[in-house]
């Protein structure tokens, strides 16, 4: 025991100055509660280390059970563990339990229980659902308590004690604590419990978008960390059986690797929202919905996120933090690989559809578990999805010309880098998914061969593209069989002027049937599916491009060019979809 503490305990001082100076080294009594423990840990000094702190604690009369119950929140496992032998080292044993994984794993619950005055905002972070953005916003407002604090792979032992010490020092001066992280809802309840005043909330997203974002993020992290030095990058390399990301990898290689990640259940985990919002790693809609209602979790979607952020937290602006590099686009995956992902998103799709319907029903930007329960009425909760599906279906537009209304939206890939990547075929073949054959590919520049395909509304062709020069421009493409399914793909650049004309709108029609519309401010691939009654036997396919924002550069003071420009069309492709047999 340090000399100064010995003097204090013996009551012997040479003069009054010694009394005053010794106050800084007063010993701590043996902690008997979680609050006592964290108050002592607040005095941890990284320079002196844990040994320096333990020297100041009066533990001479403690027995093993005192440390085990205090730190690990359990009784000794057997009689042998409970007995202090003749060589029992109190401080050494105390140190071992403080550094044990058991203390790390339960740190969040123990900390919360040690400071019961803190009001709790608990964010169950479903990965790739705007969570990082929310965390960076809210962590500035309240005392942040990350779930990752209990994960050795993410926080070293040295940093762990420093963080716990810092949190313990400032906790008495805060009113609210913001708990957040990737943790299953049921696991959190088991870890920390739930008080009537606790506020649990979460964000979910379209399940295909979620899985694509997982895959893109995994490969994007490898591009930043090709050797896998960080835990998440190392995990991806291990799952893909790679020693490192290849030093030279082209767009096709990146797409192949990302598609492999998308199809790997430990990278792009199936039904991830239902897993995180449920219990027991079930990944089931029924379990997740029951937990949401039982624990009265507030839930919103990424579509409502920005408005909810303003209404719930008075945060006006949001920056997309931790956004995934779009190597694969959701629209590409949804169209080409949806059948391969059907089982992986089935439960999440039910949850997402139910919550989306409920938000439309109530008109809010979020909905609580209790409100979901009231929507179910006296019926079982599991029937809520059937109600949502039935009501949502009744509100869908009528089908026209035998085409499914849900395919009438254009798929768009933006930015030159992603346009080129989108156009790359993958070499990964997936059983049960369609294959694609390019039936027509036209470079729409100054090539006499493509002249026959232009009707009205076009400017004179330039070497690599041709501008639309009217509010409506048309193409005449060869006839296609109504018995088959095709993709119409346009590669184009919009005419935009920063600050004056930031976006061009395109409305696409095929044989006078509206296929959808899109806003473009960068080079883009615009794509839609055509089949069935849209196509006429042995009749040419007339493609109409309406560009209501077309403008003259001369009117905007950019040049003397008086043409009415909308889009510079670079490439037109027809791709036949050959369904799997």
pLDDT tens per residue, range 527-580: 998 988 899 999 999 999 999 999 999 999 889 999 999 999 999 999 998 877
Both structure tokens of 550: 């077309």
Both structure tokens of 441: 């590919």
- pLDDT, tens digit (0-9, with 9 covering 90-100), for 273-314: 999 999 999 999 999 999 999 999 999 999 999 999 999 998
Sequence-distant (≥ 6) Cβ neighbours of residue 227 within 8 angstroms: 233, 244, 245
Q: Which of 64, 60, 71, 62 is nearest to 5 (CA)?
A: 60
**CB of 9 closer than 8 Å to CB of 89:** no
pLDDT of residue 398: 38
In 3-state terms, what secondary structure has residue 367? strand
Both structure tokens of 303: 């579509």
Sequence-distant (≥ 6) Cβ neighbours of residue 17 within 8 angstroms: none
Strands of 504-510's sheet in order across: 472-477, 541-546, 504-510, 513-520
The conformation of residue 391, written as its DSSP 8-state character, comes to: H
Residue recorded with tokens 């964010």: 123
CA distance 531 to 514: 13
Total residues belonging to the chain: 581
Sequence-distant (≥ 6) Cβ neighbours of residue 532 within 8 angstroms: 401, 402, 403, 482
Domains of the chain in sequence order: 3-99 (no CATH), 405-578 (2.60.120)
The conformation of residue 543, written as its DSSP 8-state character, comes to: E
Residue recorded with tokens 């320079």: 47
**CB of 204 closer than 8 Å to CB of 351:** yes
CA distance 206 to 349: 7
Residues of the chain with pLDDT under 50: 1-10, 396-408
pLDDT of residue 578: 82
pLDDT of residue 399: 34
Both structure tokens of 329: 């686009």
**pTM for the full model?**
0.81
Sequence-distant (≥ 6) Cβ neighbours of residue 80 within 8 angstroms: none
**CB of 409 closer than 8 Å to CB of 516:** yes
pLDDT of residue 317: 57
pLDDT of residue 446: 83
- pLDDT, tens digit (0-9, with 9 covering 90-100), for 338-390: 888 999 999 999 999 999 999 999 999 999 999 999 888 766 777 787 777 77
Both structure tokens of 308: 């909810």
pLDDT of residue 279: 95
pLDDT of residue 211: 95
Helices (H), 409-504: 416-422
Sequence-distant (≥ 6) Cβ neighbours of residue 471 within 8 angstroms: 457, 546, 547, 548, 550, 564, 566
pLDDT of residue 431: 76
């Amino acid at each position: 025991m340090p000399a100064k503490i010995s003097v204090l305990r013996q009551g012997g001082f040479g003069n009054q100055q010694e009394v005053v100076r010794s106050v800084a080294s007063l010993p701590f009594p043996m902690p008997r509660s979680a609050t006592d423990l964290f108050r002592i840990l607040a005095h941890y000094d990284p320079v002196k280390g844990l040994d320096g702190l333990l020297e100041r604690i009066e533990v001479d009369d403690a027995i093993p059970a005192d440390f085990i119950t205090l730190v690990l929140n359990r009784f000794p496992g057997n009689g042998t563990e409970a007995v202090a032998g003749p060589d029992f080292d109190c401080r050494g044993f105390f140190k071992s339990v403080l550094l044990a994984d058991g203390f790390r794993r339960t740190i969040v619950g123990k900390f919360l229980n040690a400071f019961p005055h803190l009001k709790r905002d608990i964010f169950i972070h479903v990965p790739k659902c705007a969570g990082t953005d929310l965390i960076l916003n809210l962590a500035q407002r309240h005392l942040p308590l990350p779930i990752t604090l209990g994960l050795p792979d993410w926080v070293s032992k040295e940093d762990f004690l420093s963080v716990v010490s810092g949190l313990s020092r400032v906790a008495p001066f805060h009113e609210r604590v913001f708990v957040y992280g990737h943790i299953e809802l049921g696991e959190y309840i088991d870890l920390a419990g739930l008080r009537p005043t606790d506020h649990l909330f979460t964000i979910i997203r379209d399940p295909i978008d979620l899985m694509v974002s997982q895959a893109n993020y995994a490969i994007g992290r490898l591009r930043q960390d090709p050797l896998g030095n960080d835990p998440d990058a190392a995990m991806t390399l291990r799952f893909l059986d790679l020693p490192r990301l290849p030093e030279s990898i082209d767009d096709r290689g990146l797409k192949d690797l990302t598609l492999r990640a998308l199809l790997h259940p430990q990278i792009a985990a199936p039904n991830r929202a239902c897993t995180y919002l449920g219990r027991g790693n079930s990944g089931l809609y029924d379990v997740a919905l029951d937990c949401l209602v039982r624990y009265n979790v507030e839930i919103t979607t990424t579509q409502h996120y920005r408005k909810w952020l303003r209404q719930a937290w008075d945060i006006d602006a949001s920056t997309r933090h931790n956004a995934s590099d779009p190597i694969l686009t959701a629209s590409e995956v949804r169209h080409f690989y949806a059948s391969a992902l059907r089982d992986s998103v089935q439960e999440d799709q039910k949850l997402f559809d139910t919550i989306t319907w409920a938000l439309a029903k109530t008109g809010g930007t979020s909905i609580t578990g209790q409100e979901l329960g009231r929507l179910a009425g006296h019926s079982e909760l599991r029937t809520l999805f059937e109600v949502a599906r039935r009501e949502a279906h009744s509100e869908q537009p009528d089908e026209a010309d035998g085409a499914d209304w849900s395919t009438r939206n254009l798929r768009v890939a933006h930015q030159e880098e992603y346009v080129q990547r989108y156009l790359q075929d993958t070499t990964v073949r997936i059983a049960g998914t369609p294959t694609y054959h390019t039936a027509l590919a036209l470079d729409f520049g100054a090539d006499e061969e493509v002249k026959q395909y232009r009707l009205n509304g076009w400017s004179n062709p330039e070497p690599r593209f041709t501008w639309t020069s009217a509010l409506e421009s048309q193409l005449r493409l060869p006839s296609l069989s109504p018995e088959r399914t095709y993709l119409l793909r346009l590669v184009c650049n919009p005419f935009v002027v920063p600050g004056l004309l930031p976006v061009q709108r395109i409305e696409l029609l095929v044989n006078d049937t509206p296929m959808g519309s899109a806003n473009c401010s960068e080079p883009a691939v615009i794509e839609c599916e055509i089949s069935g009654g849209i196509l006429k036997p042995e009749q040419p396919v007339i493609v109409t491009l309406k560009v209501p924002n077309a403008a003259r550069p001369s009117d905007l003071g950019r040049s003397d060019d008086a043409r009415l420009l909308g889009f510079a069309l670079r490439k037109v492709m027809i791709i036949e979809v050959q369904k799997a047999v």
